[in-house]
Amino acid sequence: MNKKFKEFGIIGIELLDLLGEENGLIAGSFPLSIYLEKKGLQTFKPTDIDIFINKNQDFHKVVKFIKYFGYEFEGPYEKDNYPDVHKIYIGRQKVSGNSVQVIVTKNSPRQSVLNFDLTCCQAFIDNEFRHVFHLDQENVDQMRTSYNTLEKVFQHTTEKRFVKYFDRGFKFFCGEVDITDRFKGYPSYENIIAVHKKYKSQKFPS
């Protein structure tokens, strides 16, 4: 885990201590890549670190901490199509091109993880135990993912995002139905809509 943080030029232990104080979480693709590596599964190089923190906590303190490591921040940006998100600050290192997003949430960070569009992304780092947990462990261990809720998929999930997780080795499921091949390669928006309409009544793995 420390190696992953070093790739972003950040002292991971200090960041996790700060997030423990502010009830924040690192979640999404960064901890997912660590989880897959520890499981001996196909992994990938994460392109950013996503930090989730409630709007009532001192998120400015977190932004200031990340700035110490040479990140320049833009924002805040509002994301109206993400009901959990209050605002987002995006930090980038000019030299490395690394990115850290501080995502200020309306709900608790753990609730935001539960509401992720793709279940494979429901990974987070426990600040106290320095361990990656995954809320959809059984499916991820089989390199499977599904839409958390079909109603959200078109509000939150872009074509580019589907392609990204196809490229990372994941298959897409509706319940127990493998719908990966229904996209006919890289999914067009029209194909995604067609699959959604056909399988919208399916139940999802819990």
* pLDDT score of 205: 38
User: Cα(140)–Cα(28) distance, rounded to whole angstroms?
Assistant: 13
* pLDDT score of 148: 64
* pLDDT score of 14: 96
SS3 52: strand
* pLDDT score of 203: 44
CA angle 155/157/159 to nearest 5° reads: 120
Only one residue has tokens 């991971």, namely: 12
* pLDDT score of 177: 77
User: Cα(151)–Cα(172) distance, rounded to whole angstroms?
Assistant: 16
- Counted residue by residue, the chain has a size of 206
User: Cα(161)–Cα(133) distance, rounded to whole angstroms?
Assistant: 22
CA 204 to chain centre: 19
* pLDDT score of 160: 72
Instruction: Point out which residues pair with 177 in neighbouring strands.
Output: 174
* pLDDT score of 204: 38
Mean pLDDT by 10 residues, the chain (206 residues): 92 96 96 96 94 96 96 88 86 92 94 87 93 92 78 55 84 79 60 60 42
User: Cα(52)–Cα(118) distance, rounded to whole angstroms?
Assistant: 17
User: Cα(157)–Cα(142) distance, rounded to whole angstroms?
Assistant: 22
Q: Which of 14, 158, 10 is nearest to 91 (CA)?
A: 10
Only one residue has tokens 């980038």, namely: 92
Cβ atoms of 91 and 99 within 8 Å: the answer is yes
Q: Which of 130, 18, 8 is nearest to 69 (CA)?
A: 8
What's the longest Cα–Cα distance across the chain?
49
